[in-house]
Amino acid sequence: MHHRKILFSGILRVFMMMHTVVFALQPDNTLSVVADGGAVGDGISDDTDEINATISRALSQAKDVYFPVGEYKISGDIIAKNGVSLYGDFSGVSLIKAASGVQMIGDDIKANVVKNVDIKDLFLLNVQVFFLGKTASITKENISVARCVSIATNANYYTTRAGYQMNVEAVNNISFEDNILLQAASSQAKGLQTDTCNGVVVRYTIIGMDLNNLSWLDTEWKGYGSWDNIEVKLGEVKLTHGFDDDMGRIEQGHKSLSDTDVLVRGNIYNGSPADDSDSSIQDHAAYVRDWTNFDFVENWVRGWPNGASGGIKFRNANGPGAVAANKLVNTPYISAGNASSTLPEAYSNMLLYRNYFVLDAEYFTELEKHGIYYQENGGVDAEDLNNEYAENIYSCASGEVPIKLFVVDVSGHTIYDSNVYEGTGIPINIDSPNGLVSPESGAPDLSRTDSYQNYTIPHLNIPEYGEDPPAPPGPGTLEFDVVDDSTVKKVDPDAVFGTSAVMNLRGEGDKEMNAYLKFTVSEVPGTISEVKVKLYSLHAHTVEILRVNDVSWNETSMTWNSRASMNNSIMTQPVGANEWVELDVTDVVTSNGTYAFGLKTTSGSYRNFSSKEGANPPKLLVTHTGASADGDLDDDLIPDVWEMEYFGNATNAVSGLDPDEDGFDNLAEYISGTIPTNGNSWFVVENRGCQSGMMVSWHSVSGRVYDVGFSSSITNTFTNIVSGIHYPKDTYIDSEPRAGSSGFYRVDVRIP
């Protein structure tokens, strides 16, 4: 495949070697750590002092801080300041990495006041988020971490600040949303911890991932919609830093200690199977102790061992709390009351409701830790109260796994007969010290369950670690249902027949009747090679199918008087009685979209086809060539997979068109690595003076090569300075003095 260079997308002018073109996606009211703070962001220079100085300057100016696309190496901690938020680039990758060991972004001095801080759109490589506050007088409050990717690879991660990638203590109103936490085997990292916090939200965060297969993110992850092209970003970072595919080697997912008012919702705990049977490495997907008002809902959990150190674990609390509408894949729910001088000894006021337990036989290595398990340990003097278990489902053979209840006095635990083995209606067995206990009839009070009724169990289709992504679809035929169909009758000009089980036809004259059909074609891979309207004919006659350009009509309102015009005749064909017929409309249906057709007959008698409401509704059969990972079906120099990703079809992106109206056509967007449907996604170049000369930087994209040129005037010929700069390098320092005091740099991007 050959591609032209883009010679117009990366030009900037330099005045007195100091002028800077500001990156287009910099948020308002921010200081750039590069343009304003002097950081380099090349992954080589140490940017620690420049970043901290920019944050301090932003504090004095009541501004926030922006990290342009780049890699920022730090040898020390990045200290957050009160009211100063830290933003990466929304469209590109802004990565902060520890020069060695593990560094911190946050504040670890209890007395320091840090409130109203957002950390957003940053990639953090061996950099922990850490905030330490005070409980007596609140010093840390209103902190959020969103759309960040935390990556742990350093062998010292486990021993640094308790080994958590995100860790907060004594913080009021803390939220973690739409984040991704990745862990290499070398790190033995833990995900996140909240300790003595009030008002905690952990939502739509992924803990652990196989970077080889990201095909599921757009359909299975609720946080996907807030990101911009996260699959591409993860792929670039993996390639640049040589990460393993398996980045789910995590010891612990989430630890919550003595927190109040907590919502943990819609997260994906996806531990690696390489560790899920090793209790010396993993210690609970979620570990919750001494909670008040804790909701653990709609989470999906897989990849933790079934022993005492695995599963999700709740212990020692007076509550209240609820674990509801979660899917636990070979992952037990473990609860306990333990003797303690500092914590509540009892386990009380917990609702376990509408959870779905996948219990595959091959995971029965320690049977007592499967499904629902409770253990009252020795020395406990307090009495358990008001724990209820209802509508939980075990996906296993009937009777194969029981609910385990190891407590002397079971009166504080009510297990209802609505807990069943899937598909049987048979209540789950209960195993207690005194033998099997019968479940109770009835249900928890509606006041306790009502707020959990509308939660949806996340039956997600997440590939196993090591499972290859699906191949591009091959050739085939797609079948589309009719969207609207109706009859219009000349003798009844204002009547609507859209709900009739048949479509009536009759030849021209006073009793003429015609029919209309409408289809929507979508997500067709490759090129459309043949399209046919498939109808079930109830009578023998000759039918004519015509194109209807107007697709705004619908079957619930169209009449003879309001009918859409029938335009070009497509074909005429004899049809038999009580048989399927296919009418070729290939010349009309050429791509995704909505299409309408009209039907007429030459017969002077009633002639009918089955309608959408009938026994044999109409179909549209679309035969296609399929997409190829390396192919270019329409020979427009843009790969099929790129067109599929952004336009839903391997031939939909016309190379010379500019759908987002940003001045760059689709071919230019593909080559430059920008997003063709986002008018704010541009190939932008920055420059700034540095000690050794003039630095020119840009957003580098995998598979591209960059050349840098200079000219004293934009109308003059550019002289090439350097050629063949390959991804991931994204900067060039020009140490040669240029004639005159001003001029233009140009960065050309090409695909070799």
At residue 405, what is the residue type?
Answer: L
More confident position, 731 or 513: 513
More confident position, 367 or 360: 360
Phi, psi of 713, deg, nearest 5: -140, 145
- Once rounded to an integer, what is the mean pLDDT over residues 727-733? 75
What pLDDT sits at residue 3?
35
Compute the distance between CA of residue 17 and CA of residue 539 in angstroms, rounded to an integer: 83
> Which of 26-30, 349-353, 481-485, 734-738 is predicted with the least confidence, judged by mean pLDDT?
734-738
What pLDDT sits at residue 132?
98
Task: Mark 257-289 as b/e (b = at least 16 C-beta within 10 Å).
Answer: bbbebbbbbbbbbbbbeebbbebebbbbbbbbb
What pLDDT sits at residue 79?
98
- Of the pLDDT bands very low, low, confident and very high (cuts 50, 70, 90), residue 203 is very high
Q: Which helix (H) or strand (E) holds 733?
A: strand 731-734
At residue 520, what is the residue type?
Answer: T
What pLDDT sits at residue 16?
26
**What is the spatial order of strands in the sheet that 742-750 belongs to?**
11-15, 742-750, 705-711, 719-726
What pLDDT sits at residue 15?
31
CB proximity list for 447: less than 8 A, separation 6 or greater: none
- Is the per-residue pLDDT at 333 higher than 70? yes
Angle at 655 between CA 25 and CA 709, to 5 degrees: 60
pLDDT in tens, 208-222: 999 999 989 999 999
- Is the per-residue pLDDT at 636 higher than 90? no
Average pLDDT, rounded, for the chain? 87
The rounded Cα 682 to chain-centroid distance in angstroms is 23
- Is the per-residue pLDDT at 14 higher than 80? no
At residue 392, what is the residue type?
Answer: N
- Once rounded to an integer, what is the mean pLDDT over residues 311-337? 91
Task: Mark 17-51 as b/e (b = at least 16 C-beta within 10 Å).
Answer: beebbebebbeeebbbbbbbbbbbbbbebebbebb
Compute the distance between CA of residue 115 and CA of residue 490 in angstroms, rounded to an integer: 72
What pLDDT sits at residue 739?
47
CB proximity list for 180: less than 8 A, separation 6 or greater: 148, 149, 150, 205, 206, 209, 230, 234
Confidence (pTM): 0.72
What pLDDT sits at residue 5?
35
| Structure-token pair, residue 144 | 């959020």
Bridge partners for 150 per DSSP: 124, 181
Q: Domains of the chain (ranges plus CATH)? A: 26-452 (2.160.20), 476-624 (2.60.120), 685-750 (2.60.40)
Compute the distance between CA of residue 401 and CA of residue 429 in angstroms, rounded to an integer: 7
> Which of 282-291, 496-505, 615-624, 632-641 is predicted with the least confidence, judged by mean pLDDT?
632-641
At residue 411, what is the residue type?
Answer: S
Phi, psi of 212, deg, nearest 5: -75, -20
| Cis preceding linkage at 320, omega within 30 | yes
What pLDDT sits at residue 4?
33
574-579: long-range contacts (C-beta < 8 A, 24 or more apart)? Answer: 574/540, 574/541, 574/542, 575/535, 575/537, 575/540, 575/541, 575/542, 575/543, 576/537, 576/540, 577/537, 577/538, 577/539, 577/540, 578/537, 578/538, 579/536, 579/537
What pLDDT sits at residue 458?
97
| Closest alpha carbon to 331 in 376, 280, 268 | 268
Q: What is the dihedral of CA 37, 38, 42, 48, to 10 degrees?
A: -60
Bridge partners for 719 per DSSP: 710
- Of the pLDDT bands very low, low, confident and very high (cuts 50, 70, 90), residue 711 is confident
- Is the per-residue pLDDT at 629 higher than 60? no
Q: Which helix (H) or strand (E) holds 364?
A: none
CB proximity list for 550: less than 8 A, separation 6 or greater: 564, 565, 596
- Is the per-residue pLDDT at 457 higher than 80? yes
Residue whose tokens read 């987002």: 660
Compute the distance between CA of residue 567 and CA of residue 549 in angstroms, rounded to an integer: 7
> Which of 315-319, 478-482, 614-618, 693-697 is predicted with the least confidence, judged by mean pLDDT?
693-697
> Which of 289-303, 362-376, 473-487, 694-708 is predicted with the least confidence, judged by mean pLDDT?
362-376
> What is the sign, positive or negative, of the torsion defined by CA atoms of 344, 346, 349, 354?
positive
| Closest alpha carbon to 124 in 158, 156, 90, 147 | 147
More confident position, 251 or 526: 251
What pLDDT sits at residue 380?
60
What pLDDT sits at residue 377?
65
pLDDT in tens, 659-704: 888 888 888 888 888 888 887 777 777 666 555 567 787 777 777 8
DSSP string of 308-333, one letter each residue: TTSSEEEESB---EEEES-EEES--E
- Of the pLDDT bands very low, low, confident and very high (cuts 50, 70, 90), residue 716 is confident
- Is the per-residue pLDDT at 142 higher than 70? yes
Q: Which helix (H) or strand (E) holds 642?
A: helix 640-647
| Structure-token pair, residue 699 | 């957003």
- Once rounded to an integer, what is the mean pLDDT over residues 466-485? 88
Angle at 677 between CA 671 and CA 679, to 5 degrees: 90
- Is the per-residue pLDDT at 72 higher than 90? yes
- Is the per-residue pLDDT at 741 higher than 80? no
Compute the distance between CA of residue 698 and CA of residue 431 in angstroms, rounded to an integer: 64
Compute the distance between CA of residue 73 and CA of residue 123 in angstroms, rounded to an integer: 12
What is Dmax (Cα atoms) for the chain? Answer: 95
| Closest alpha carbon to 230 in 250, 215, 208, 245 | 215
> What is the sign, positive or negative, of the torsion defined by CA atoms of 365, 368, 373, 375?
negative
- Once rounded to an integer, what is the mean pLDDT over residues 387-408? 89
> Which of 61-65, 81-85, 184-188, 460-464 is predicted with the least confidence, judged by mean pLDDT?
184-188
> Which of 323-332, 537-546, 681-690 is predicted with the least confidence, judged by mean pLDDT?
681-690
More confident position, 190 or 374: 190
Residue 273 is given by DSSP the state T
The total of other beta-carbon atoms located within 10 Å of residue 372's CB is 25
- Is the per-residue pLDDT at 654 higher than 90? no
What pLDDT sits at residue 265?
98
8 Å CB contact between 77 and 99:
no
- Is the per-residue pLDDT at 411 higher than 90? no
8 Å CB contact between 18 and 692:
no
- Of the pLDDT bands very low, low, confident and very high (cuts 50, 70, 90), residue 228 is confident
Please state, in angstroms and as integers, the Cα–Cα distance from residue 465 to each residue in 184, 219, 272, 303, 575, following that order.
14, 18, 7, 10, 53
Compute the distance between CA of residue 406 and CA of residue 324 in angstroms, rounded to an integer: 22
Compute the distance between CA of residue 705 and CA of residue 727 in angstroms, rounded to an integer: 7
8 Å CB contact between 180 and 210:
no
What pLDDT sits at residue 273?
86
The total of other beta-carbon atoms located within 10 Å of residue 254's CB is 27
- Once rounded to an integer, what is the mean pLDDT over residues 87-102? 94
8 Å CB contact between 111 and 86:
no
Residue whose tokens read 């927190």: 259
What pLDDT sits at residue 744?
81
Compute the distance between CA of residue 203 and CA of residue 221 in angstroms, rounded to an integer: 11
| Structure-token pair, residue 258 | 């003595």
- Is the per-residue pLDDT at 406 higher than 90? no
At residue 337, what is the residue type?
Answer: G
If DSSP codes are grouped into helix, strand and coil, which group holds residue 412? helix
What pLDDT sits at residue 736?
73
Compute the distance between CA of residue 309 and CA of residue 732 in angstroms, rounded to an integer: 51
Angle at 26 between CA 20 and CA 27, to 5 degrees: 140
CB proximity list for 260: less than 8 A, separation 6 or greater: 197, 198, 199, 291, 292, 293
